[in-house]
Structure 1
Amino acid sequence: MADSNITKHALATALRELMTELPFEKINVAHICERCGMNRKSFYYHFKDKYDLVNWIFDTEIIFLVRDEDLETSYEKHWEFIEKICFYFYENHAFYRKALQIQGQNSFADHFREYIRPLLSARLAYLYANEPIDEFALDFFTDAIVCTVERWLLKKDCLPPEQFVEKIKSLTEKGAASIYREMTQEKDKIS
């Protein structure tokens, strides 16, 4: 198992280096293998294609990052978790900026979307007092998050993560407070 991880990490390092030099669409498996001194057979033993390798990099690093997180915590802890994820993306901005530009089947954006759907589903179930969450609501919030993160990371000089998260938190809280205020005013008019 250790040898397998060493091989995977070597291939990942090679791909990361190549992505600083070439557009992703110009990189092929032969380039990756040549960069780390391996053969194509080794690559295909571990990964289906270069898209699979990009997604493995994310999965491996994000699992390491969030493995000890308790997602059943307080409101402030949820924001700290979001900021932690954003710091990870910011620190790896150059890589994810290119990864998010990958188009088509097996794109990183699609993989990221599928990764966050269950997290959002659990959070929405909690917020909606365990009411079933329909696909429309889940798609709406998933798309909002993916689009926002993409727009943030695709800017060459993107905001630092603490500012990015603070903007999202402020918009969320102000929006919720405004909606609550409007609903309360409507109820007061009816009473």
Structure 2
Amino acid sequence: MNYQNEDHLDLRQKKTRRLLVEALAQLLTERPFQELSVVDICRRAMVHRTTFYAHFNDKQELLHYLLEGLEQECVATCLPQDPDRSPREYLLTAAQNVFQFFAQHRTLYRACLNSGADTRVQTLEACAAGELCRLLSEPRFRAVSPQVDPEVAARFYAGAMLSLIRWWLSSEPPLPASHLLANLEQFIPIQ
């Protein structure tokens, strides 16, 4: 299942998928993923089991679909749209937006991390690294740090940021995002 290849779906099909995703998201905040069944998800969504299987092969595929949607929402909402920011301001604003996004979805992401859905983290990391590499290859970033390979820097920062987020989401109580941002500023050498 892929969020990007849904143009062929009619409104009824899109609504059914949305209901199933919402049902899974609600149930994940109540019980571990391993304890959930397709029947539980269908009951919550008020969708027949055969309808579920018309859209997804199993609950794992639905979980991946849910996470893919969150990834796309994160990328769409977290990257600053102001191209005139300095590279440092851009990266720090993006980090702040990411922390806000994950704080809003903390319960769901914690449930997903506890479900064994770490395979999606690799996809998110690759997506984030690709976007960051594209950004770091722009002339305004290259002019500030011409000696830094954009691909190496992108992989480093994306991996480090996702690791930090995973740790932050699983910490009890979580550190304030402002504390994390103050520390992140020390790791962004670009002025």
Same fold (TM over 0.5): yes
Report the structure number with the largest CA radius of gyration.
1
Hey, what's the Cα distance between the residues in 2 that align with 1:140 and 1:78? 14
1:59 pairs, out of 71, 86, 98, with 71
Following superposition of structure 1 onto structure 2, how do residues 61-100 of structure 1 map, counting pairs within 5 Å? 61-62=73-74, 65-66=77-78, 69-70=81-82, 73-74=85-86, 75-100=88-113
How far did residue 152 of structure 1 move?
0.9
Q: Contact 1:24–1:98 at 8 Å: present in 2 too? A: yes
How far did residue 15 of structure 1 move?
0.8
Q: Which amino acid aligns with 2:184?
A: I
Aligned to 1:21, the other structure's residue is in SS state coil
Question: Is 1:14–2:23 an aligned residue pair?
Answer: yes
Aligned to 2:29, the other structure's residue is in SS state helix
- Give the count of matched residue pairs: 172
Please give the root-mean-square deviation of Cα atoms over the aligned residues, in Å: 3.1
1:5 pairs, out of 14, 33, 45, with 14
Q: Give 5+ residue unaligned stretches, structure 1.
A: 178-191
Q: Give 5+ residue unaligned stretches, structure 2.
A: 1-9
The 1:29–1:165 alpha-carbon spacing in structure 2 relative to 1, beyond 3 Å, is: farther
Q: Which residue of 2 aligns with 1:123?
A: 135
Hey, what's the Cα distance between the residues in 2 that align with 1:9 and 1:114? 26
- Per-residue CA deviation, residues 124-172 of structure 1 (Å, 9 max, x unaligned), is 33445497645x6554333212211111111132123333222212x21
Q: Contact 2:29–2:108 at 8 Å: present in 1 too? A: yes
Q: Which residue of 1 aligns with 2:51?
A: 42
Q: Which has the higher contact order (CA 8 A, sep 6+)?
A: 2
What TM-score does the superposition give when structure 1 sets the normalisation length? 0.72
Q: Which residue of 2 aligns with 1:32?
A: 41
